[in-house]
Structure 1
Amino acid sequence: MASREEARAVDDGTRHIEVLALDLEGTLISNAVSQIPRRGLHEFLVECVERFPRVVMFTTVPEARFRAIARALAGEGAVPEWFPDLEYVHWHGAIKDLRFITDAPLERTILVDDCGDVIQPAQTEQWISVPLFEHPYEEPGYVLEEVLTRLPRPKRRGEK
């Protein structure tokens, strides 16, 4: 769970976020083997693409495996039908550096991820932490719904 300061840093109303990067394993689903979707995943993804001009997948799961998992989840109705075609971030190393996202202004990019160990230390203000989704896969409430409350809302035209 993010601290009040972390939540304020992301949603202080002064930053216009252009890119939302999402982790897969432990964040949106259990893992690449069991592939259990987190409660409210479909609705979360729909809200994300409505709020942000660009949503990308930033995961350690290889792209072909991500696409197969995404197709299976879409076939089950657990995610929107466009999810298997989501932009995939190619990266390497042990740290998820937001600079791997092509044509993404660093200061206008946010990463939603369960694992703090992979976050670039200089980019922690752009990280929204979520609890690891792990066995027994039962959570009180809707974690992804709570994440939405911590994501900035885009300004409407004419708003300052």
Structure 2
Amino acid sequence: MDSEGYYQAITRKSPFIAWIHNISLNQQKYIKSKFKDLNLGHDVRYIMFIYDNPNCSQEDLVNMFSQSKGNIAKVLRKLEDLGYIKRQINPENRRKYMLTTTERGEDLVPTFRQISKDWEKEVGITDEDYELIQRIQEIAINAMKLVEGE
């Protein structure tokens, strides 16, 4: 922080959402720095989503991460080429794929979760913050619902 109270282009007077966005960006930078030897960057979040939601679809990722179909397709192709995920045709709809993690992708999960816990500890997130975290989750869900109907 400089003498005028600026942090990475936001100030103490910046809106709440700017601070949330800043937290997210800095967590992604931290995670990317820990996975730089794997050439994954923040794409690891897609592996985690697929791991936590086996047989999800590309459309599920588009909706979850608010990314374009083209961007998600590109990332999935990369993750498949690197051996972290696999796509299988959905027997109920042959035009769609079901996504699962491979053994290589599953091996990454404990490391990622530990790095996330380390980040939380380093930035000062504690067990006492549980109620605040729940409230922010509620706000995020309300925000998603607000734009779903648009």
TM-score normalised according to structure 1 size: 0.31
RCO higher in structure (CA 8 A, sep ≥6): 1
TM-score normalised according to structure 2 size: 0.33
Comparing both structures, which one devotes a greater share of its residues to helix? 2
| Structure having the higher Rg | 2
